[in-house]
Amino acid sequence: MNPLSETPAPGRPADPQDDSLLILAAGGDEGLLAKMRQRHAAGEPAPYVAGFLLFRGHRFTMDHRAYITDPELTHLVDAVASAGTSLAAQLRRPLRLLEFGIGAGTLSLSLKIEHPEWSFTGLDIDPPALALARTNAAAHGVALELLESDFLSAWPAAAEPPDLLFGDPPWGGPTDLYDETRDGHYYDQMPALSAYPGGTSPCGIHDELIRRLCALGWPSALILNYGVLPAAVIERSAAPLAEWRVVHPRPDISVLLGCARA
Ligand SMILES: C[S@@+](CC[C@H](N)C(=O)[O-])C[C@H]1O[C@@H](n2cnc3c(N)ncnc32)[C@H](O)[C@@H]1O
């Protein structure tokens, strides 16, 4: 039987995009494709099975060391690209950007590929994820500074703050979903500190990052993804900032644009 025409094993529902990834990963090896489909049907996320993901047309190595970038994060990248372009025009020089919680590097590397004149530093608390970001940066021949850091602790005290800080810190819980194809079990397979913030606030990492930025008084533009969290939660989280607004690139998705210093 041709595995390309097999009905999927019971378990995870067949998603055409996931299946395309597996077909690409199998490279025409039908036995391998059948095995990959079995793993995926048993609940393993397609990018972990395939060993890579596609984001904004770029290919990034992906494995269990790092969070699987949600496709919706292309909206965050758009917001950073748009705000960054305006800011660079104002400053009349290439931008210095900092990504908080860089994971496998997908977001910063996409931006760097699309805006090679900008420079990027990526922070993450998780060394294995940073190792994967390093691999992805090398594969794309792109320079990226990577720092192991709990919040902003590794940012050198003497260094100028970045022009723009952005990120998708962990948010929500197993029932806060972009869509039903990625459920709690999907996110449970990601590194412990990557999917959910823990604690009592559904955006506790955002809250703490904002608290620290305000204490530092950084003038950096701030762009954070809050996913599908409710407006009241986001308003409470953003309240310490000197200025902020929320944009909705998709009606259910919220991205905060703000600054700790007026
Ligand atoms: C939702 S993932 C996003 C990863 C990446 N930006 C992407 O979209 O693929 C959140 C990332 O924040 C990192 N993180 C969580 N808590 C952190 C902290 N206190 N300091 C720095 N990074 C943290 C996690 O290790 C994880 O890589």
Q: Is residue 61 part of a domain?
A: no
| Ligand 1 pocket, residue 122 CB under 6 Å | no
240 and 134 in one domain? yes
Atom of ligand 1 nearest to the CA of 124: 22
Cβ–Cβ under 8 Å, residues 189 and 12: no
- For residue 9, pLDDT over 90 is answered with no
Q: Is residue 60 part of a domain?
A: no
CATH at residue 140: 3.40.50.150
31 and 120 in one domain? no
Q: Is residue 66 part of a domain?
A: no
| Ligand 1 pocket, residue 129 CB under 6 Å | yes
pLDDT, residue 12, reads: 52
What's the structural domain count of the chain? 2
Cβ–Cβ under 8 Å, residues 196 and 187: yes
Which of 102, 186, 253 maximizes ligand 1 atoms within 8 Å of its Cβ, making it the mutation to test the pocket?
102
pLDDT bracket for residue 7 (50, 70, 90)? very low
Q: pTM here?
A: 0.95
Q: Is residue 65 part of a domain?
A: no
- For residue 8, pLDDT over 70 is answered with no
Q: Is residue 17 part of a domain?
A: yes
Which of 120, 193, 209, 225 maximizes ligand 1 atoms within 8 Å of its Cβ, making it the mutation to test the pocket?
193
178 and 123 in one domain? yes
Q: Which residue's alpha carbon is at the smallest distance from atom 14 of ligand 1?
A: 101
96 and 36 in one domain? no
46 and 77 in one domain? no
| Ligand 1 pocket, residue 148 CB under 6 Å | no
- Secondary structure of the chain as H, E, C letters: CCHHHCCCCCCCCCCHHHHHHHHHHHCCCHHHHHHHHHHHHCCCCHHHHHCEEEECCEEEECCCCCCCCCHHHHHHHHHHHHHHHHHHHHHCCCCEEEEECCCCCHHHHHHHHHCCCCEEEEEECCHHHHHHHHHHHHHCCCCCEEEECCCCCCCCCCCCCCCEEEECCCCCCCCCCCCCCCCHHHHHCCCCCCCCCCCCCCCHHHHHHHHHHHHHCCCCEEEEECCCCCHHHHHHHHCCCCEEEEEEEECCEEEEEEECCC
28 and 117 in one domain? no
- For residue 8, the CA-to-ligand 1 centroid distance in Å is 33
* High-pLDDT (> 70) share of the chain, %: 95
80 and 153 in one domain? yes
| Ligand 1 pocket, residue 97 CB under 6 Å | no
| Ligand 1 pocket, residue 55 CB under 6 Å | no
Q: Which residue range is the domain that position 39 belongs to?
A: 3-50
32 and 108 in one domain? no
29 and 77 in one domain? no
* Average pLDDT value over all residues in the chain: 94
| Ligand 1 pocket, residue 69 CB under 6 Å | yes
Q: Which residue's alpha carbon is at the smallest distance from atom 4 of ligand 1?
A: 103
Span 122-170, pLDDT tens digits: 999 999 999 999 999 999 999 999 999 999 999 999 999 999 999 999 9
pLDDT bracket for residue 28 (50, 70, 90)? very high
Q: Is residue 42 part of a domain?
A: yes
pLDDT, residue 262, reads: 85
205 and 160 in one domain? yes
